[in-house]
Chain A
């Protein structure tokens, strides 16, 4: 590991000195557990979208950060992305979290990619694109990540407005039968009796299932 250990307050001071005007809100939260009550800290910074990349660069000057995940909230007329980093890993009881929160109005849901700075960010960015409809500008791989290929376009599961999951996709699913527009199975389907079979034509064996 390189460099000396610096305290959360020192990190915070570094950010206020360099990009102070763009920080809308800054706080440090603390949590103590166990018998000795050793603290761990989280630095929360609300910053402007333009400052996201400069802020990460400042963080990288300290040490190479670990990007844990990109969290997200739908706040109604805007979407807030929370970039959750940890720095100073590998130092005994001195690791802490640094989060950058960026609020994007729903009229302009674009955010620059950070994957050129931190290659491991691609996963999180792909996920945010498909789950929230955020457009990551410059993303090297813009395919879907978790959602299936036939998931309807324009539906974003984590959104709380009309583009969220419509009730039809989650309610009364028992009523929806096997989709008709799927490709034919590779393996030929054998003659089956039972749940998926058509109502038995020959009499004698009446299926117990109600479909």
Chain B
């Protein structure tokens, strides 16, 4: 570091181990006092080469690999990979499987959004709210376990269908969970949206304009919070969503206006929990009878996949936005090309316009606001006057909590 860099702007690095993604991220901030002047980041700190592995495995094996791409989204990656392979191999998925896929897809969204809401509350210093949201999230996890056998890495979606049916005996458990959430949603909305402090911390903080959201190819709740009307469940009929009447949730429907800030991202995600409950209920009541998979025998399924030639795109609306798998098969056992585009891949670039001009204490909540995976920011290294000191996640978190307390006075 050159000696003349003692003056502002200071360089603050956050990372490389950082929670906001499934891959940790290395942030470099240029700070002037408390204000962020410029941001740069380097993802890929734990790139696992899953696509490389997939290009050496057959589709039935890849399905179990895709289950493990993300710890929260166990359905979406497998589902979009299966959708792609089914298109190439021209497999018609039974209608019942489409509905079961949609039900699990929505339960995943509920638990992911609740997890995120807890993290957001924690970043602001509302740990009571964190404990509330994470306690109620357990109900969705229990239902997922009831339906799939697992809390994470569900292993439920298979190329051609699903691996387990939903029996009538399981309906009461689902119904009980849904009505619990619907009763609770009013309370959650009240706790988050009518709270003066949350409004002070999140309103007009981390703004992403509609124009930036479109140009940076932002997806999911992050884009919707900026007023971009995108929701694959509405726009692009896949699985059972073509039969349902899903509409994208935009902040102006609830708040009357769109700011594109952290607050709007909370609004969109919370309202989507209620929407998911309605979708599950509708799917359960309209679910047709019939088989749950196009081909039960894996050896036969593999043979069909092995003969398949062509390329296709599988695309689903994950809790964080569009998840896309591009697959090309050339009549061999393993795909020739496989590209996984997770939703955060599209959302990362929106961090830059969001963070510029904000305060250092707002970094945790803004970084968390696009993505629910905030599990363990390990440390922040501050390079100042050539001296390196490590700031812990606890320190940054304390700064954020102190700001909340300051505002409350």
Contact A69 B345 (CB under 8 A): yes
A71 x B326 contact (CB < 8 A): yes
Instruction: Check if A64 sits within 8 Å of B214, measured CB to CB.
Output: yes
The size bracket of the interface on A is: 35 or more
C-alpha gap A169/B52 in the complex (Å): 13
Residues from chain A with Cβ under 8 Å of B234 in the complex: 92-93
Check if A103 is an interface residue, CB within 8 A of chain B: no
**Interface pair A158/B52, CB less than 8 Å apart:** yes
Binary flags per residue of B209-222, CB closer than 8 Å to A gives 1, else 0: 00000111111000
Kindly state whether residue B336 has any CB partner on chain A within 8 Å: yes
B278 at the interface (CB under 8 A from A): no
- Say which one of B149-157, B265-273, B307-315 lies at the interface with A: B307-315
Over the window 19-33 of chain B, the binary record of Cβ atoms lying under 8 Å from chain A Cβ atoms (1 yes, 0 no) is 000010000000000
From residue A117, how far is it (CB to closest CB) to chain B in Å?
10
User: Closest CB of chain A to B212's CB: distance in Å?
Assistant: 8
Instruction: Name the interface residues of A168-211: CB closer than 8 Å to any CB of B.
Output: 186
Which of A68, A96, A165 has the most B CB atoms < 10 Å from its CB? A68
Structural contact, A29 and B312, CB atoms closer than 8 A:
yes
Return the CB mask of B313-350 against A: 1 if under 8 Å, else 0: 10100000010101010000000110101000110110
Q: How far is the CA of A39 from the CA of B215 in the complex (A)?
A: 27
- Are A122 and B349 neighbours in the complex by a CB distance under 8 Å? yes
Q: Which residues of B contact A39 (CB under 8 A)?
A: 237
- Judging by beta carbons under 8 Å apart, are B229 and A1 in contact? yes
Interchain nearest-CB distance for B378 vs A (Å): 13
- Judged by a CB distance under 8 angstroms, whether A147 is at the interface is yes
- B232: chain A residues at CB < 8 Å are 95
User: When chains A and B are docked, how far (Å) is the Cα of A120 from the Cα of B234?
Assistant: 23
Name A131's closest neighbour in chain B (CB-CB): B51
Bound Cα distance from A63 to B55, whole angstroms: 35
Q: Are A34 and B313 in contact (CB under 8 A)?
A: no
Please indicate the chain A residues that have their CB under 8 angstroms from the CB of B406 in the complex: none
Interface string of B377-400 (1 = CB under 8 A from A): 000010000001010000000000
Residues of B within 8 A of A97 (CB): 313, 315
A35 contact from B243, B312, B324, B381, Cβ within 8 A: B243
A121 CA to B219 CA, complexed, in Å: 14
Interface string of B35-62 (1 = CB under 8 A from A): 0000000111101010110010000000
B362 on interface, CB distance cutoff 8 Å:
no
Asked if B248 CB lies within 8 Å of chain A CBs, one says yes
- Report which of A32, A74, A88, A158 forms a contact with B235, defined as CB distance below 8 A: A88
CA distance in complex: A123, B95 (Å):
37
Q: Is the CB of B215 within 8 A of A120?
A: yes
B288: which of A35, A37, A40 is its contact (CB, 8 Å)? A35
On whether the beta carbons of A119 and B345 are closer than 8 Å, the reply is: no
Query: CB-CB < 8 A to B238: which residues of A?
Result: 31, 33, 40
Partner pick for A165 among B52, B240, B243, B311, CB 8 A cutoff: B52
Partner of B324 from the list A31, A69, A148 (CB cut-off 8 Å) is: A69
CB pair B44 A145 closer than 8 Å: yes
Write the chain B residue with the least CB distance to A31: B87
B228 within 8 A of A: yes
Judge whether A90 and B95 touch: CB under 8 Å.
Answer: no
Q: Report B75-110 CB contacts with A as 1/0, cut-off 8 Å.
A: 000000001000100000101001000000000000
Q: Which residues of A contact B236 (CB under 8 A)?
A: 40, 86, 89, 93, 95-96
Q: Is A61's beta carbon under 8 Å from chain B? A: no
Is residue A110 within 8 Å, beta carbon to beta carbon, of the partner chain? no
User: Within 8 Å CB of B339, what residues of A?
Assistant: 69-72
Q: Which residues of B contact A72 (CB under 8 A)?
A: 337, 339
B225 contacts partner chain A, Cβ-Cβ < 8 Å:
no
Contact B239 A34 (CB under 8 A): yes
| Residue in contact with A37 in the complex, picked from B215, B242, B381, B388, CB distance below 8 Å | B242
Give Cα A164–Cα B67 distance, bound, in whole angstroms: 26
Q: Does B230 contact A (CB under 8 A)?
A: yes
* Interface assignment of A38: CB less than 8 Å from any CB of chain B: yes
Taking the complex as formed, is B241 at the interface, i.e. its CB lies under 8 A from any CB of chain A? yes
Most buried by B among A39, A89, A119, A147: A89
B residues whose Cβ falls under 8 Å from a Cβ of A: 23, 42-45, 47, 49, 51-52, 55, 83, 87, 93, 95, 98, 214-219, 228-230, 232, 234-243, 247-248, 286, 288, 311-313, 315, 322, 324, 326, 328, 336-337, 339, 341, 345-346, 348-349, 381, 388, 390
Counting from the closest, the 7 A-B pairs by CB-CB distance are A146-B44, A120-B217, A38-B242, A90-B229, A95-B235, A71-B326, A69-B341
Interface residues of A (CB under 8 A from B): 1, 29, 31-40, 42, 44, 64, 66-74, 82, 84, 86, 88-97, 99, 118-123, 143-148, 157-158, 165, 186
